[in-house]
A and B are shown apart, each in its own frame.
Chain A
Amino acid sequence: FSPRMATGMQEKQYTPSLLNFFIYNPKFGPREGEEEKKILFYHPSDVEKNEKIRNVGLCEAIVQFTRTFCPSKPAKSLHTQKNRQFFFEPEENFWIVMVLCMFILNYICAEFIDTVYGAVLQQCYSMYKLFNGTFARAMEAGGVELLTQKLEKFFYRYLQTLHLQSCDLLDVFGGISFFPLDKMTYLKIQSFVNRVEESLSLIKYTAFLYNDQLIWSGLEQDDMRILYKYLTTSLFPRHSEPELAGRDSPLRPEVAGNLLHYGRFLTGPSNLKDPEAKFRFPKIFVNTDDSYEELHLIVYKAMSAAVCFMISASEELGREFCEQLDGLVGPQLTLLASDICEQYNINRRVSGSEPQFKFIYFNHMNLAEKSTIHMRKTASVSLTSVHPDLMKILGDIHADFVRVDEDEEIIVKAMTDYWVVGKKSDQRELYVILNQKNANLIEVNEEVKRLCATQFNNIFFLD
């Protein structure tokens, strides 16, 4: 036992830590003695070769063995006394395996933990694919060598950013938080996006966010989902400091020289005036199932409004283009951002204060999620305002919902005065945590009904 795990055990019964993470393809080394060729990536890299081969072989065997029972649904996870192994086959014959070390004394949450970390594993692949394209394309372009290079480069950093201990129901949903907005302001944003796309015709897709919440996506839903995840958990948190800094702070970006607007690039050149500025943007891959497009990702922000412009990677983007974009988008976006802010404040005043209810809402159809439980989701920590045990109960209710197709409602009496209610209606899920002294089942039911009537009165949500 490493000392770290030992302390973890004392503090919490189930703080998971990453033991192994590897990617293999059984077709690459089918003969004996060539097993190492199957392994495309292995974390930690300093593990002895034979151990790698052994672990990969074990997974291969388990997958093969379980396949005989249910060919359509291969094994997803393996529970051992100390470990959990999660399997995922994102592309044919390519397997990603994540091994977590966790002690679970209490078996209630078992199923939920599978769902959460299964989702985390899938997200690892999606994120890889967003920035690198599919495994198969890399193979076509440069064979195993290129693929292993890409995997190495991406996962070496990415695995360090996995915060396994704070994963919860929101990771399972992988939802998108939408910014509530009135129709008129929304149309103004539409108009803005259309105008920019028209005058800068290189732009293929645009996404518009405010306060880290999505307002418009020109990308398809699945691509937007992962891009949103990247933006909100990685890119935006890295760039949030300048805005939080005071007006006179040196951290504040170069606005003095350009009083016309507050726009700046979050990707690409950090300062357009810098003669040494580099005009390199991250590349992303979208629509990998059909058109398979590689795009430059330009993220531009003015105050709380952020816009992603996506341009075909085959286009050369230089200073001239960036200046043109800055000149066109900067002033408009600055204006729009203050418009949205104003409108948002008006709406908030009208609708009153934040609800006292603690709830998580998710709609599978548009991936809309809303949580009053999570205070702030950053790269490092997901702060929740409720006890982790309550979060686990939410997870279990969700696991129940997954198993059944029909609408249902589950009410759980938790410790002390807490009640947890889960509702599933068509494609929507709602989880409410109530804390009422000496409340009974009927009262709790009434309370949830009231919540639905006030918070969700504009959607079809069965009672």
Chain B
Amino acid sequence: MSEEHYLELCDSPVQFENASSVNNVFFDEANKQVFAVRSGGATGVVVKGPDDKNSIAFRYECALKSLCFALIKQNRPVFSFQNGGQGGSEISQVCGEKNATVLGFCWTSWNEIVFITDQGVEFYQVLPDKRSLKLLKSHSINVNWYVYCPETSVILLSTTVQGNVLQPFAFKCGTMSKMSKFEIELPVVTKPAKIILSERDIAVATIYGQLYVMYLKHHSRTGNNPGAEVVLYHLQREGACKRSHILKLNTTGKFALNVVDNLVIVHHQSSQTSFMFDIKMKDTDSNLNIHQPVLPARSIHPYKIALTGPAAVGSQTPVPCELCILFLTFLLGSGYLWYLQVKLKPVVSLLQDKSKLMEFLLRRRDCKMVILSVCSQMLSRGDKGSLPVVAIVFDKLNQVYKEYLEAEQSYTMAVECGPSRGSTAHKRPVRTQAVIDQSDMYTHVLSLFTERKDVSHKFIIAVLMEYIRSLNQFQITVQHYLYELVIKTLVQHNLLYMLHQFLQYHVLSDSKPLACLLLSLESTYPPAHQLSLDMLKRLSTANDEIVEVLLSKQQVLGALRFIRSVGGHDNISARKFLDAARQTKDQMLFYTIFRFFEQRNQRLRGSPNFTPGEHCEEHVAYFKQAFGEQAFIKPVTL
């Protein structure tokens, strides 16, 4: 059953005391830390984050209603601000008009803070030394409520009577920029003079590097609407905010939203299940960006909390993930703070369409091993008609691989060219887990696959060729070990004519190791000799090897003619050729070769005689014995 749950809670939740009359719990979205404030801080403040090994604890003398956490990281004192600006403990700041109500504040960087009142926003710089704030900018606007996205420092303000016109502001390095406002389309306009859009139904999140405003659109039960939906508005720095995606929930009730690994997770309270959406996954049947859940809704994998102490009686209580408070990315249960995680393995079995699955996996963070295991699995079954699927999967992998290689290449080129006109420093491309290269495929998938005895060799070869085709299609240089795998498989099944044809069309690219491998096949397949020589010739850096091959075949004259044709005959060892010529037991051949070197000596040194360094005495003696003294070239005397 555990295969069913594709969502789980992280292993080590942040544990804290339950919120109660004496204990206040706050969550700092920017730093992802939980603050447990006992008795208004008088008895202690405990700060815990998911990555923190130890919690920070300190005491605070004054009663707190609200906390600002940004400086906790720097271990600086906490600033407190009280509503209406009444006597803060460290720094106090009065903001807005007299009758203005402070709705809240957000830290946009470690020393910048924004106050939101019902009449507008005020942007301050914090001067810790002076214990004061400096107003950077302000903007007057009627505000119902606000939502803040800490990752991008964007604040959304709800304006107008119905509350459905949203005004975003972006903050960056001391500047506040007003972005174009947009209207959320409400389902039904009932009573016009009432706030309809609630902040509970709006969330801001970064998905695939883009900022989106997510609107949970409830449908009235009376209508024949299929159910609620999440409407995504793409928020761009410049230009209008556009409605970009609709996520169909097909049900009604209470929902909560999370974004995990660029997936939108919608939790449905009454069914206690969660929907998962990937906005990059396109439904083939519609051009509009209407998305159905990637997978059927499932509950989050039950989390077992090990109870300690005698009360536990050795049992573990599964927490029915009934969620009290939901923050983006985090799930805050009673007394625990968890990360929500997506489990990829169950997705593999739930998502049958391999092409969709691969796309989905390639967009996930920890996908490499899962992808590789999907590949292995897909090949091992060898279902009928699976080859086109294999091809699609390979193409998808190689597309990502190619994009990375290109980015890497242009980075290297940019670095070599030195600092360019633009001042922007070149960023080395990040190699994500989705980059599955040839060695990954070889080690984890293909080398094991070719060893399998239960798969037909036809299929093995077809798969290898398909992978090579895909690499070629993306113009990726194929590594020689893949060729070796192909050759090994072909030789193993005695399919040498097939191999011959592949080489004939240069499907297996030339290389010295490959040429040597072919030479070794000559005894079982004679044409391999010719194929190997051709390959060495094309490499044009293997002239010595060609000479060796020819000499080993006793083609002494051929070797000599070849080395002469490439202009290397002045540097070759005379002894090597004479040795080879002697071995043929062909007197005329020996004579010819001997005469060639005599002439070379004459040309290079002015004398036909061999030097002692050439170690040809034995051959000179043989020549003399066979053809007589008078057959030697006479040294030219000037």
**Looking at the complex, which one of A187, A217, A366, A426 makes contact with B472 (CB distance below 8 Å)?**
A187
A194 and B466: CB pair below 8 A? Answer: yes
A195 and B387: CB pair below 8 A? Answer: yes
A462 and B465: CB pair below 8 A? Answer: no
Q: Which residue of chain A is the closest to B531 with respect to CB atoms?
A: A365
Q: Which residue of chain B is the closest to A219 with respect to CB atoms?
A: B497
Interface residues of B in 360-396 (CB under 8 A from A): 384-388, 391
* A460 within 8 Å of B (CB atoms): yes
Task: Name the residue among B388, B458, B465, B501 with the largest chain A CB count within 10 angstroms.
Answer: B501
B534 and A183: CB pair below 8 A? Answer: no
Q: Cβ of B498: which chain A residues have Cβ within 8 Å of it?
A: 218
**A194-B387, A199-B385, A217-B501 are known contacts. Are A187 and B469 too (CB-CB below 8 A)?**
yes
**A460-B533, A463-B561 are known contacts. Are A366 and B384 too (CB-CB below 8 A)?**
no
Q: Which residue of chain A is the closest to B385 with respect to CB atoms?
A: A199
Q: Cβ of B385: which chain A residues have Cβ within 8 Å of it?
A: 198-199
* A103 within 8 Å of B (CB atoms): no
A189-208 vs B, CB cutoff 8 Å, 1 = contact: the mask equals 01100110111010000000
Which secondary structure dominates where chain B touches chain A? helix
Q: Cβ of B555: which chain A residues have Cβ within 8 Å of it?
A: 407
* B562 within 8 Å of A (CB atoms): yes
* B210 within 8 Å of A (CB atoms): no
Q: Cβ of A407: which chain B residues have Cβ within 8 Å of it?
A: 555, 558
4 tightest A-B contacts by CB? A194-B462, A187-B469, A365-B527, A460-B533
* A151 within 8 Å of B (CB atoms): no
Q: Which residue of chain B is the closest to A221 with respect to CB atoms?
A: B497
Q: Which residue of chain B is the closest to A365 with respect to CB atoms?
A: B527
**CA–CA, A96 to B473, complex, Å?**
52
* A459 within 8 Å of B (CB atoms): yes
* A186 within 8 Å of B (CB atoms): yes
* B43 within 8 Å of A (CB atoms): no
Binds A, one of B47-55, B169-177, B284-292, B502-510: B502-510
Q: Cβ of A216: which chain B residues have Cβ within 8 Å of it?
A: 501
A344 to chain B, nearest CB (A): 14
* B439 within 8 Å of A (CB atoms): no
**CA–CA, A23 to B551, complex, Å?**
47
User: Could you give 7 example pairs across A and B, Cβ below 8 Å?
Assistant: A187-B473, A188-B469, A197-B458, A198-B459, A365-B526, A458-B534, A463-B561
Q: Cβ of B231: which chain A residues have Cβ within 8 Å of it?
A: none
B384 and A201: CB pair below 8 A? Answer: yes
Q: Cβ of B461: which chain A residues have Cβ within 8 Å of it?
A: 194
* B65 within 8 Å of A (CB atoms): no
**Looking at the complex, which one of A195, A218, A363 makes contact with B388 (CB distance below 8 Å)?**
A195
* A347 within 8 Å of B (CB atoms): no
**CA–CA, A130 to B565, complex, Å?**
45
Q: Which residue of chain B is the closest to A224 with respect to CB atoms?
A: B497
**CA–CA, A365 to B555, complex, Å?**
18
**Looking at the complex, which one of A198, A220, A366, A463 makes contact with B527 (CB distance below 8 Å)?**
A366
Q: Cβ of B634: which chain A residues have Cβ within 8 Å of it?
A: none
Contact size range, A: 20 to 34
B561 and A198: CB pair below 8 A? Answer: no
Interface residues of B in 491-529 (CB under 8 A from A): 497-498, 500-501, 504-507, 526-527
**CA–CA, A34 to B493, complex, Å?**
50
Q: Cβ of A195: which chain B residues have Cβ within 8 Å of it?
A: 387-388, 391, 462
Q: Which residue of chain B is the closest to A425 with respect to CB atoms?
A: B558
Known: A187-B473, A460-B536, A460-B537. 9 other contacts (CB 8 A): A184-B473, A198-B458, A216-B501, A365-B500, A366-B504, A458-B538, A460-B530, A462-B562, A463-B562
Q: Cβ of B530: which chain A residues have Cβ within 8 Å of it?
A: 363, 365, 426-428, 460
Q: Cβ of B462: which chain A residues have Cβ within 8 Å of it?
A: 194-195, 197-198
Q: Cβ of B466: which chain A residues have Cβ within 8 Å of it?
A: 191, 194
Q: Cβ of B534: which chain A residues have Cβ within 8 Å of it?
A: 458-460
**Looking at the complex, which one of B459, B472, B562 makes contact with A183 (CB distance below 8 Å)?**
B472
Interface residues of B in 467-506 (CB under 8 A from A): 468-469, 472-473, 497-498, 500-501, 504-506
Q: What is the total of A-B residue contacts with beta carbons within 8 Å?
A: 91
B387 and A198: CB pair below 8 A? Answer: yes
A187 and B468: CB pair below 8 A? Answer: yes
**A191-B466, A191-B469, A198-B459 are known contacts. Are A183 and B507 too (CB-CB below 8 A)?**
yes
* B264 within 8 Å of A (CB atoms): no
Q: Which residue of chain A is the closest to B527 with respect to CB atoms?
A: A365
Q: Cβ of B546: which chain A residues have Cβ within 8 Å of it?
A: 460
Q: Cβ of B536: which chain A residues have Cβ within 8 Å of it?
A: 460
* A173 within 8 Å of B (CB atoms): no
Q: Cβ of A381: which chain B residues have Cβ within 8 Å of it?
A: none
Size of chain B's interface in residues, with CB distance under 8 A? 39
B501 and A426: CB pair below 8 A? Answer: no
Q: Cβ of B384: which chain A residues have Cβ within 8 Å of it?
A: 198-199, 201
**A191-B469, A426-B530 are known contacts. Are A463 and B565 too (CB-CB below 8 A)?**
yes
**CA–CA, A271 to B538, complex, Å?**
48
A213 to chain B, nearest CB (A): 12
* A368 within 8 Å of B (CB atoms): yes
**CA–CA, A381 to B282, complex, Å?**
59
* A251 within 8 Å of B (CB atoms): no
Q: Cβ of A366: which chain B residues have Cβ within 8 Å of it?
A: 500-501, 504, 527
**Looking at the complex, which one of B465, B504, B527 makes contact with A190 (CB distance below 8 Å)?**
B465
A217 and B561: CB pair below 8 A? Answer: no
B254 to chain A, nearest CB (A): 49
A187 and B465: CB pair below 8 A? Answer: yes
**Looking at the complex, which one of B465, B497, B505, B565 makes contact with A194 (CB distance below 8 Å)?**
B465
**CA–CA, A365 to B526, complex, Å?**
8
A183 and B504: CB pair below 8 A? Answer: no
* A281 within 8 Å of B (CB atoms): no
B542-571 vs A, CB cutoff 8 Å, 1 = contact: the mask equals 000010000000010010011001000000
B465 and A191: CB pair below 8 A? Answer: yes
B458 and A186: CB pair below 8 A? Answer: no
B323-341 vs A, CB cutoff 8 Å, 1 = contact: the mask equals 0000000000000000000
Q: Cβ of A217: which chain B residues have Cβ within 8 Å of it?
A: 497, 501
**CA–CA, A198 to B531, complex, Å?**
30
* A181 within 8 Å of B (CB atoms): yes
B317-359 vs A, CB cutoff 8 Å, 1 = contact: the mask equals 0000000000000000000000000000000000000000000
B527 and A426: CB pair below 8 A? Answer: no
A108 to chain B, nearest CB (A): 28
* A178 within 8 Å of B (CB atoms): yes
B558 and A462: CB pair below 8 A? Answer: yes
Q: Cβ of B459: which chain A residues have Cβ within 8 Å of it?
A: 198
Q: Which residue of chain B is the closest to A204 with respect to CB atoms?
A: B458
Q: Cβ of B501: which chain A residues have Cβ within 8 Å of it?
A: 216-217, 366
B271-295 vs A, CB cutoff 8 Å, 1 = contact: the mask equals 0000000000000000000000000
Task: Name the residue among B462, B526, B536, B555 with the largest chain A CB count within 10 angstroms.
Answer: B462
Q: Cβ of B558: which chain A residues have Cβ within 8 Å of it?
A: 407, 462
**CA–CA, A198 to B462, complex, Å?**
9
B561 and A426: CB pair below 8 A? Answer: no
Task: Name the residue among B469, B473, B504 with the largest chain A CB count within 10 angstroms.
Answer: B469
Q: Which residue of chain A is the closest to B462 with respect to CB atoms?
A: A194
Q: Cβ of B531: which chain A residues have Cβ within 8 Å of it?
A: 365
**CA–CA, A195 to B527, complex, Å?**
29
Interface residues of A in 203-234 (CB under 8 A from B): 216-218, 220-221
A66 to chain B, nearest CB (A): 31
Q: Which residue of chain B is the closest to A363 with respect to CB atoms?
A: B530
Q: Which residue of chain B is the closest to A188 with respect to CB atoms?
A: B469
A428-463 vs B, CB cutoff 8 Å, 1 = contact: the mask equals 100000000000000000000000000000111011
Q: Cβ of A186: which chain B residues have Cβ within 8 Å of it?
A: 505, 507
A183 and B465: CB pair below 8 A? Answer: no
Interface residues of B in 60-83 (CB under 8 A from A): none
A209 to chain B, nearest CB (A): 13
Interface residues of A in 351-386 (CB under 8 A from B): 363, 365-366, 368
B458 to chain A, nearest CB (A): 7
**CA–CA, A368 to B530, complex, Å?**
13
**CA–CA, A217 to B536, complex, Å?**
26
**CA–CA, A86 to B458, complex, Å?**
43
